[in-house]
Amino acid sequence: MRNKERYLKVNNLYNRALLLVSDLFQDKKDKAGFPYINHLIRVSVKLDTEELRIAGLLHDVLEDTKLTKKDLAELEFSDRVIEIIEGVTNIEGEDYDSKIQKIINSKDIDVIKVKYADMSDNYDKSRLKLLSKETRDKLTKKYDNNLKLLRKVLEELQ
């Protein structure tokens, strides 16, 4: 992994994760054309522990970059943070509804919290209105029922 030493110089793991995603997603934009890093930060700040906030920042790295679990371990992120990231990572070819059901069936409250924070940010009404009607309709179909399911499971587990 390039720049490993640079990241390891940052002692605070949250700041290390922030530096990492800032580099990895520096040129990526979201569907509305804003820097993608903003999504990662918004997901992170919705979460209530440092471990979850780190997982929130990193939740898309396995899915959207060439980074691996091994890379994350070499950057000294905890096994638990890596497990959470794996739990929310979409696998190519996996049906989204099936993925959500797998997350629910895991009963892993941390994975559910991160996925809920991710989806609720993606489904934020103020951001949705910036998108085309076609994209809004697609996202509404994708997120509406699944968010309700995740919220219900969170309420039951808490």
Torsions phi, psi of 9, nearest 5? -70, -20
Domain segments of the chain: what residues?
Answer: 4-157
Name the packing angle between helices 96-106 and 79-88 (round to 10°).
Answer: 140
Q: Distance between CA atoms of 40 and 138, rounded to whole angstroms?
A: 21
The pLDDT score that the predictor gives to residue 61 is 97
Q: Distance between CA atoms of 158 and 27, rounded to whole angstroms?
A: 38
Whole-structure pTM value: 0.94
Over its length of 158 residues, how does the chain's per-residue pLDDT go in tens digits?
Answer: 788 999 999 999 999 999 999 999 999 999 889 999 999 999 999 999 999 999 999 999 999 999 999 999 999 999 999 999 999 998 888 899 999 999 999 999 999 999 999 999 998 988 888 889 998 998 888 888 999 999 999 999 98
Burial of 49 (0-12, 13-18, 19+ CB in 10 A): exposed
Q: Which fold has domain 4-157?
A: Hypothetical protein af1432 (1.10.3210)
